[in-house]
Amino acid sequence: MLNRSNGAAIRAAVSAVPVRKGAVLADIGFGGGLGLELLLDRLDQADGAAGVVHGVDVSQTMIADATRRFSRPIADGRLRLHRAPIEKLPFADGAVDAALTLNTIYFVPDLPAAFIELRRVLHRNGLVALGLGDPGAMARMAVARQGFRLRPVSEVIDALSLSGLVVDQHRRVGKGDGAFHLLIAIPAPR
Ligand SMILES: C[S@@+](CC[C@H](N)C(=O)[O-])C[C@H]1O[C@@H](n2cnc3c(N)ncnc32)[C@H](O)[C@@H]1O
């Protein structure tokens, strides 16, 4: 959506998600739905019908599009869609094994509030795959000048840390200084 490497970034994030039988997975800010599609594939490969993928987005348009596109997995109960913000997720404490949130935080004013909420819903052995475009590269893109909050990656890592999430891996997807940033974060030990 934002650049040509976005599909590769989403694929890299999904491949970082460990899937066990009955896993509860979420894509928060799923947009066009590629993450949902890939998470459903991953569940299928892992354990057939067990497990569930949750798609969360604030946009009614994205929810409506995904409702049409994914009618079968929704009917099968493998995919559930929720209209909700990352700051108020529709999950119980510790209910989510792995969450993706890719290209979403540009639209989130209060990062610690969002990350505390992510931490709340994450299982103690869970994982978050958070992706963002390189802020320097994005600052040169016309689309990103319209209402995007471009933060240094170090600020994002600090906000995760303040929220009880530790960055276990910082991967780059794509080439050069402008490569996409994929942060794999896990709950900090209590
Ligand atoms: C740029 S799109 C990214 C879509 C997809 N994750 C991707 O990487 O291609 C951002 C998505 O985040 C959603 N979004 C924006 N603010 C949000 C929030 N506070 N909570 C949840 N979703 C949000 C938007 O509706 C949109 O679908």
pTM of the predicted structure, to 2 decimals: 0.96
- Residue 80 is assigned to a structural domain of this protein: yes
- Residue 69 is assigned to a structural domain of this protein: yes
- How far is ligand 1, taken at its centre, from the CA of residue 130, in Å? 12
3-state SS assignment for residue 55: strand
> What are the φ and ψ backbone dihedral angles of 93, each rounded to 5 degrees?
-55, 130
Q: Is 115 left (phi over 0), alpha (psi -120 to 50) or beta?
A: alpha
Angle at CA of residue 104, ends 103 and 109, nearest 5°: 130
- How far is ligand 1, taken at its centre, from the CA of residue 47, in Å? 28
Cα(116)–Cα(71) distance, rounded to whole angstroms? 32
Sign, CA dihedral 19-25-31-37, equals positive
Q: Is 31 in the pocket of ligand 1 (CB under 6 A)?
A: yes
Q: Would you state the pLDDT for residue 145?
A: 77
Angle between helices 34-47 and 6-15 (to 10 degrees): 30
Q: Is 103 in the pocket of ligand 1 (CB under 6 A)?
A: yes
- How far is ligand 1, taken at its centre, from the CA of residue 123, in Å? 22
- Residue 22 is assigned to a structural domain of this protein: no
Number of domains composing the chain: 1
Q: Is 59 in the pocket of ligand 1 (CB under 6 A)?
A: yes
Q: What tokens were used for 117?
A: 């909420």
Host domain of residue 139: 6-12+28-187
Q: Would you state the pLDDT for residue 48?
A: 54
Residues in the chain: 190
- Residue 1 is assigned to a structural domain of this protein: no
189 DSSP 8-state letter: P
- Residue 92 is assigned to a structural domain of this protein: yes
Q: Is 85 in the pocket of ligand 1 (CB under 6 A)?
A: yes
- Residue 76 is assigned to a structural domain of this protein: yes
Q: Is 67 in the pocket of ligand 1 (CB under 6 A)?
A: no
Q: Is 127 in the pocket of ligand 1 (CB under 6 A)?
A: no
Q: Would you state the pLDDT for residue 20?
A: 86
- Residue 176 is assigned to a structural domain of this protein: yes
pLDDT in tens, the chain (190 residues): 454 568 999 999 999 998 888 999 999 999 999 999 999 999 988 765 589 999 999 999 999 999 999 999 999 999 999 999 999 999 999 999 999 999 999 999 999 999 999 999 999 999 999 999 999 999 998 887 788 999 999 999 999 999 999 999 999 999 999 999 999 999 998 7
- For position 69, which CATH number holds? 3.40.50.150
> What are the φ and ψ backbone dihedral angles of 47, each rounded to 5 degrees?
-155, 30
- Residue 20 is assigned to a structural domain of this protein: no
Q: Would you state the pLDDT for residue 142?
A: 87
Pure H helices in the chain:
6-15, 34-47, 60-69, 71-75, 111-121, 135-139, 153-162
The residues, ordered by sequence, that sit 6+ positions from 109 with a Cβ below 8 Å of its Cβ are 149
